[in-house]
Structure 1
Amino acid sequence: MPRRVDLTKLRAAAAAQHATFTCRQAAQHGVTHRVLERLTALGEIERQHRGVHRFTAIPLTRSAEIAAAVLAGGPDAVASHDTSLELHGLRKAWPGAPIEICSPTTWHPEVTGIHVHRTRRLESRDITTVDGIRATNGARTLVDLASRYERVALTRLVDDAICWGVAKRNAVYRRSCALRNGRRGVGLLVTLTDPDAEAVFRSWLERLAWSVFDRHGVAQPLWNVPRHDAEGLIGIVDCLWPDLPLVVELEGLRFHTSPQQRRDDARRFNRLGAGARVLRFTWQDVVEMPERMCGQILAALNG
């Protein structure tokens, strides 16, 4: 290797991209195609995709594979869909999981082994950087995945994304409204994140719970009943079987409540427990595990 070839700047650029770099970046730092061929022959670098290499001194990681795919997709490409979900920490990759990138339709990259999505709308507001890799942000990722997940799974994903700070509720709502035309499933995102969604969701959850109780032989309770103690009104409980008394509280989406509301709910739960047996169930219990929920309620009613 000629002494005059200095790889310091190229190594620094690659270090910010999980040891990957493009031929264009190499040229910008004075490293020619012939030098790249020599480095490849020496085993110092290896080809990842057309026009993309990596320094082999750094172990190949999943992040490096994603970074290389995004670089191969062109200057405007980003990690997207389930790969973006993976980068944001909302999904674990399995061995051999495909890498998905998104690129504007003005660019037509052919990246072997990579799923390239085309889009006419990929705005700067939809893009972020995660672990040094350009990716769709949380809100855009949810919009892109809305058609891929069934309703319960998508609802769970939205709840997790907002609660874990991957996406902001108002951002999901705005982008869903803007991009919903022709996109299956995005209407559910609008419904879940609408400013008035709490009341609608709770009403739906109560109707579903009523039907679940009826289907599993649970005597119908009194609904939305005020409960008091020596201090006064504790609050309105979702379900009350007054003879025991047994209270069942149904919890909606986590992002529909603020931290202060959750603290207030904890205090309310403690006050309720002083004068009744209280069971709490999440919306997922009602939707996904109704038999187990009803079994616990029946055990409490018959015990």
Structure 2
Amino acid sequence: MPADTWASADEAERHRLRVRATARQLAAPLFGHESAAAVWRLPLLGRWPVEVHVLVRGSSNTPSTAGVRRHRVSTLPAVRDRDGVTVTTVARTVVDLARAGSFARGLVLADDALRRHGASVAGLAEEVTAAGGGRGVRAARRVVDEADAAAESPGESLSRARIIELGLPRPVLQHDVRDGRGLVGRCDFFWPGLGIVGEFDGRLKYRVDGVGDRRAVEERVWTEKRREDRLRDTGLRVVRWTWADALDPARLARVLGSAGIRPAR
């Protein structure tokens, strides 16, 4: 592999490079868990692992080795060929990871699977049922029950997971706000009973590389300000938060609480 290919790759792409290298070394490997997620380009909350994950039949006595973690299953699941390697389906990948990780991590995956990969809640639920009473099935079922394709980004899904975990009022997703001039904008979150709209700010890029970029950023900031002013003119309150807030439940609770979004008593 060219050194510059590795150097320029982000964590997800480096994991895909490891998967491809492993596929050349092993006999017909089936990749699952984080490795399948990388190949499907599902978003992973947290760091991508160094180990590559493969599934093998339960009777296999081949142990995990350096760089390869083997997960034993009684029956090999349905598979797909993707980018030249064999992986578990999107639904199976999401459920396997939801069984092993946090609720927030699972919801980020499940929302993305529904939104971008054509997965269905019914299909995810079938995978949960197929898992029987195994470890983490209850956690995976909770993720599937809460999955929603309306969340448009991993940051919104993470925010939604925190809102659920904190016991806060559930918002409406992707709500259109209008005034006398027409559409003001589509807001990420809307609490109709509170008259509050919420915006996850992970979408904005404030990187400045040159004069042209600086002007573009300034224009975007100004556009957002005018949009927010129009939102407030409708009588709505606006609360914004960032990745740093969403990654810290207590911090997000303070941000939302200061706007009047608190657990129901």
Shorter-normalised TM range: 0.5 to 0.7
Residues 60-102 of structure 1 deviation map (CA, whole Å, 9 limit, x = unaligned): 8754531343455533x31111111122222399697111111
Residues 214-271 of structure 1 deviation map (CA, whole Å, 9 limit, x = unaligned): xxxxxxxxxxxxxxx99xxxxx95333xxxxxx11479xxxxxxxxxxxxxxxxx999
Aligned partner of 1:104 in structure 2 is 57
> Does structure 2 retain, via aligned residues, the 8 Å contact 1:80–1:141?
yes
Identity of matched residues, % = 17
Matches within 5 A, 1:167-186: 167-184=119-136, 185-186=139-140
> Which one-letter code corresponds to 1:67 in the other structure?
R
Aligned partner of 1:259 in structure 2 is none
Aligned partner of 1:208 in structure 2 is 167
Q: TM-score by structure 2 length?
A: 0.54
Number of residue pairs the alignment of both structures matches:
188
Matches within 5 A, 1:60-209: 62-70=15-23, 72-75=25-28, 77-89=29-41, 90-91=43-44, 97-110=50-63, 112-113=65-66, 114-124=68-78, 127-165=79-117, 167-184=119-136, 185-193=139-147, 205=164, 208-209=167-168
> Which one-letter code corresponds to 1:189 in the other structure?
V
Q: TM-score by structure 1 length?
A: 0.48
- Note the aligned Cα RMSD (angstroms): 4.5
Among candidates 238, 251, 255, match of residue 292 of structure 1 = 255
Aligned partner of 2:214 in structure 1 is none
Is structure 2 residue 238 aligned with structure 1 residue 279? yes
Unaligned runs of 5+ in 1: 1-17, 19-55, 195-200, 211-228, 231-235, 241-246, 252-268, 299-303
Instruction: Spell out structure 1 runs of 4+ moving beyond 6 A.
Output: 92-96, 269-272
Asked which structure has the greater RCO (Cα within 8 Å, sep 6+), the reply is 2
The SS at the match of 2:168 is: helix
> Does structure 2 retain, via aligned residues, the 8 Å contact 1:248–1:281?
no
> Does structure 2 retain, via aligned residues, the 8 Å contact 1:82–1:100?
yes
Aligned partner of 1:26 in structure 2 is none
Residues 160-215 of structure 1 deviation map (CA, whole Å, 9 limit, x = unaligned): 33223274333212211222421312222342259xxxxxx99x9599226xxxxx
In 2 relative to 1, CA 64–163 (structure 1 residues): closer, same or farther, beyond 3 Å?
A: same
Tell me which structure has the larger Cα radius of gyration.
1
Q: Distance in 2 between matches of 1:206 and 1:249?
A: 19
The SS at the match of 1:239 is: coil
In 2 relative to 1, CA 237–186 (structure 1 residues): closer, same or farther, beyond 3 Å?
A: closer
> Which one-letter code corresponds to 1:105 in the other structure?
G
> Does structure 1 retain, via aligned residues, the 8 Å contact 2:34–2:48?
no
Q: Distance in 2 between matches of 1:95 and 1:186?
A: 20
Aligned partner of 2:192 in structure 1 is 238
In 2 relative to 1, CA 71–78 (structure 1 residues): closer, same or farther, beyond 3 Å?
A: farther
Unaligned runs of 5+ in 2: 7-13, 149-159, 170-178, 181-189, 200-227, 261-265
The SS at the match of 2:100 is: coil
Tell me the CA shift for residue 274 of structure 1: 5.2
In 2 relative to 1, CA 63–137 (structure 1 residues): closer, same or farther, beyond 3 Å?
A: same
Tell me the CA shift for residue 276 of structure 1: 0.8
> Which one-letter code corresponds to 1:102 in the other structure?
L
Residues 130-175 of structure 1 deviation map (CA, whole Å, 9 limit, x = unaligned): 2211111211111211232122222223223322327433321221
